[in-house]
Amino acid sequence: MTSAQVEDKGSGSEKAPNASEANASEEGYERGLGSRQVQMIAIGGAIGVGLFLNAGANIAKAGPSLILMYAVAGVIIFFIMRALGELLLYRPVSGSFAEYSREFLGPFFGYFTGWTYWLLWVVTGMAELTAAAIYVNYWFPAVPQWTTALVFLVVLFVANLISVKLFGEIEFWFSMIKVTALIGMIVIGLGVLTFGFSAAGDTAAVSNLWAFDGFFPKGVGSSLMTLQGVMFAYLAVELVGVTAGESENPEKTLPKAINTLPWRIGLFYVGALTVILCVVKWTEFAAGVSPFVKAFAVIGIPAGAGIVNFVVLTAALSSCNSGMYSTGRMLRTLADSGEAPQAFNKLSVTRTPALAITVSVLFMGIGVVLNYVVPEKAFGYVVSVATAAGIWTWLMILVSHVRYRREVVAGRLPASSFPAPGGSVGSWIAIVFLLFVTGLIAYDADSRVCLYVMAGWAAALGVGWVVLKTRNPEIVDRRDPESEKV
């Protein structure tokens, strides 16, 4: 923080502003995201294309044990989010991951994390634009794929420029569609299991979870290999942290959004997959087919494929919408730290980082061009790059939290009003787990290409850092926030 943000503690004659008020004044953002929108952004961040589409391939690899993989990964995600929550309530800022990395690990880590998170959402946006265009082709096969992708890109871009309130409202309704579809699927599935109606009534049973070669039909090793895909499904759950600088009341909305994460994961991931695998035996699922489409088809709902296609379309657009929002804020955070061109630091009359969003959208627009030249497998590589970037972001959150807890215990920083249960124990468990998943990625020949890409990205950022230090030596000075004896 700058000195302007810190009140004179010695006088005691005036009431100091709280953390969120101070940061709102510093950043200039409009606190236009209400509790309703933050809650749904949090829910939407936990439900994405990774569940609606990719789960089919993972079921074929792991069988019913995929339920356990989602549950274990869900516990780790909760540890990550409680660590982030403690940091957010200590100092709520937009672009939080980069700021906390900068504060607790040093300027280079803030720079690296900020740019890597920007990369995550740019490549995700490129893939989601293409995915959305493919989904529209289900209804309108004559419309060129690149045209649909371009229309979606422009519409979401304009919405993000208008105001943060409009972004929040769009995300609210996208999330509402996904949540409604999943709850509907669970209710219908439970109805089939309980009352035996529909074409699936005769074969639907809880015993389908173990009746076909057991709960681990392909072995424990094969189940563990699905963890990389499972973690991709949870990407964007940390988006709540990016909204901290624009939430109306972060002290209340953020803890509520994070604390409801366990039941959201339990219901939408573990619950939905459990019901589906009870209704339809796991041997009927395959890669490239949404498990929800398959389940609706087996149950005998005529419009099931169309319904799921619409839901998956909203999931893709939701992801792209979130990408535009987060990349703009992260670029502005980097500019504020002298790690990106200062022009990105400016806000428009609607108090949005318009230029930062525009540049990010231009890079996402490469995805429109790639519809002509890049085969489908290349977008699988893009997804794996996004996963690797996401794991880095989560690791930085956890390591920053461990360092923060050390400072609190030593009395050098104030305690957060939302401490993680068990202190830094959960963070250490999550760090070990993420390193294990990284090892699984390195072991798998198809996915390890993302590690090569990340190595190249790291080298490029390293060169950029050397150039930055040469032009602006002050950039290596750690920017400490308010620090006091407790």
67 in a domain, yes or no? yes
486 in a domain, yes or no? no
Residue 24 has a pLDDT of 42
113 in a domain, yes or no? yes
Residues in the chain: 486
Here the CATH number for the domain that contains residue 170 is 1.20.1740.10
Across residues 311-327, what is the average pLDDT? 83
Higher pLDDT, 316 or 67: 67
Residue 456 has a pLDDT of 92
15 in a domain, yes or no? no
484 in a domain, yes or no? no
Query: Of the ranges 25-29, 71-75, 149-153, 239-243, which one carries the lowest mean pLDDT score?
Result: 25-29
9 in a domain, yes or no? no
Name the domain count of the chain.
1
pLDDT digits (tens, 9 = 90+) for 257-305: 788 888 888 888 899 899 999 998 999 888 767 788 788 888 887 777 7
Range of the domain at 413: 49-462
pTM: 0.84
Quick check: 16 pLDDT over 60?
no
Residue 322 has a pLDDT of 80
Alpha-carbon torsion (164, 253, 121, 174), positive or negative: negative
Q: DSSP secondary structure string, 387-421?
A: HHHHHHHHHHHHHHHHHHHHHHHTTSSPPPSSPPT
Quick check: 11 pLDDT over 60?
no
Alpha-carbon separation of residue 191 from 9, 180, 297 (angstroms): 62, 16, 16
Quick check: 147 pLDDT over 70?
yes
pLDDT digits (tens, 9 = 90+) for 423-454: 999 999 999 999 999 999 899 887 888 888 89
Across residues 134-151, what is the average pLDDT? 84
Query: For the chain, first and last CA: distance in Å?
Result: 18
Mean pLDDT of the chain: 81
Q: How many CB atoms lie within 10 A of CB 162?
A: 12
Can you tell me the distance from the alpha carbon of 127 to that of 412, in angstroms, rounded to the nearest whole number? 44
Can you tell me the distance from the alpha carbon of 170 to that of 159, in angstroms, rounded to the nearest whole number? 8
The residues with which 33 forms a beta bridge, in sequence order, are 247
Can you tell me the distance from the alpha carbon of 391 to that of 227, in angstroms, rounded to the nearest whole number? 12
Alpha-carbon separation of residue 266 from 67, 274, 407, 467 (angstroms): 10, 10, 34, 47
Quick check: 371 pLDDT over 70?
no
Can you tell me the distance from the alpha carbon of 484 to that of 41, in angstroms, rounded to the nearest whole number? 34
Residue 124 has a pLDDT of 81
The residues with which 247 forms a beta bridge, in sequence order, are 33
Quick check: 125 pLDDT over 50?
yes
DSSP state of 456: H
37 in a domain, yes or no? no
Can you tell me the distance from the alpha carbon of 484 to that of 314, in angstroms, rounded to the nearest whole number? 46
- pLDDT bin (cut points 50, 70, 90) of residue 197 is confident
Quick check: 94 pLDDT over 80?
no
Alpha-carbon separation of residue 314 from 141, 177, 261 (angstroms): 18, 7, 21
12 in a domain, yes or no? no
Across residues 153-169, what is the average pLDDT? 83
Question: Are the CB atoms for 166 and 32 separated by under 8 Å?
Answer: no
Alpha-carbon separation of residue 174 from 41, 169, 427, 432 (angstroms): 9, 9, 31, 34
Helices (H), 91-163: 96-105, 107-137, 145-162
Give CB contacts under 8 A, 24+ apart, made by 178-181. Answer: 178/43, 178/44, 178/47, 178/311, 178/314, 178/315, 178/318, 179/40, 179/43, 179/44, 179/47, 179/268, 181/292, 181/307, 181/308, 181/311
